[in-house]
Chain A
Amino acid sequence: QVQLEESGPGMVKPSETLTLTCTVSGASVSNSYYWGWFRQTPGKALEWLGSVYYTETTYYNPSLQGRVSILLDTSKNQFSLRLSSVAAADTAVYYCASHLVLTGIDLWGQGTLVTVSS
């Protein structure tokens, strides 16, 4: 059974960089899947942040204006999210997930709340 689990700090200060890690169990990040990050603010819709393909090709949401980067670590079977210059508007529940191009997002982590506050 494939499982994804997010880890990282629950609080980040404004202007700092948010870093989260997703650990994959039951499958290899070298499988031909996309490994992505999403977030959800209270009462608001889901937002895609970016994804990395098993080839390490990355795709990012243009609305984040270059603040986001995603890395694949095949040695640890993990992938990570870095979001720079955070502000209060980046407070959200962050999810890691796996997906293909045309079949939706079929596996999600449980989510982790990150609060941006001084």
Chain B
Amino acid sequence: EIVMTQSPATLSVSPGERVTLFCRASQNINTNLAWYQQKPGQAPRLLIYGASTRATDIPVRFSGSGSGTEFTLTIDSLQSEDIAVYFCHQFNNWPPEYTFGQGTKLDIK
């Protein structure tokens, strides 16, 4: 099974900062990776798919990069509404492998 490892687990941030989150796959997943944002009590929201393509209506301050086993999600000029948990998700071997990282939680510094 492909294991997705996110770092850091928690990140303290300030509005206006540039924030970079990391996701590593235990084996090559090409660019078959998505990023999601999840706020408390809400379902996840798709931000990025194909490692770098923004989903519909996602602000341009969110960007994704990477391929193979190393991926990043960058938030330029963090807004207060971006405080959430962010998950990465690989679908390189689907079906049946469809696995998620443990998440990175952003909180206010």
Contacts and interface: CB of A to CB of B under 8 A. Distances in A.
Nearest to A47: B100
Contacts of B101: 45
Interface string A94-117: 010100011111101111000000
Given A44-B102, A45-B101, A102-B91, A108 B49 contact: no
A interface residue count range (under 10 / 10 to 19 / 20 to 34 / 35 or more): 20 to 34
A110 B43 CA distance: 6
Contact of A104 (B91, B96, B102, B103): B91
Nearest to A58: B95
B50 A102 contact: yes
Contact of B55 (A47, A62, A104): A104
A61 interface: yes
Contacts of B69: none
Most chain B beta carbons < 10 A, residue from A44, A48, A109, A110:
A48
Nearest to A96: B43
Contact of A95 (B43, B91, B103): B43
B91 A59 contact: no
A34 to B, nearest CB: 9
B4 to A, nearest CB: 8
Contact of B94 (A46, A95, A101, A110): A101
22 contacts: A44-B102, A45-B87, A45-B103, A46-B87, A46-B89, A48-B100, A60-B96, A102-B32, A102-B49, A102-B50, A103-B34, A104-B34, A104-B46, A104-B55, A105-B34, A105-B36, A105-B44, A105-B89, A106-B49, A106-B56, A108-B45, A111-B43
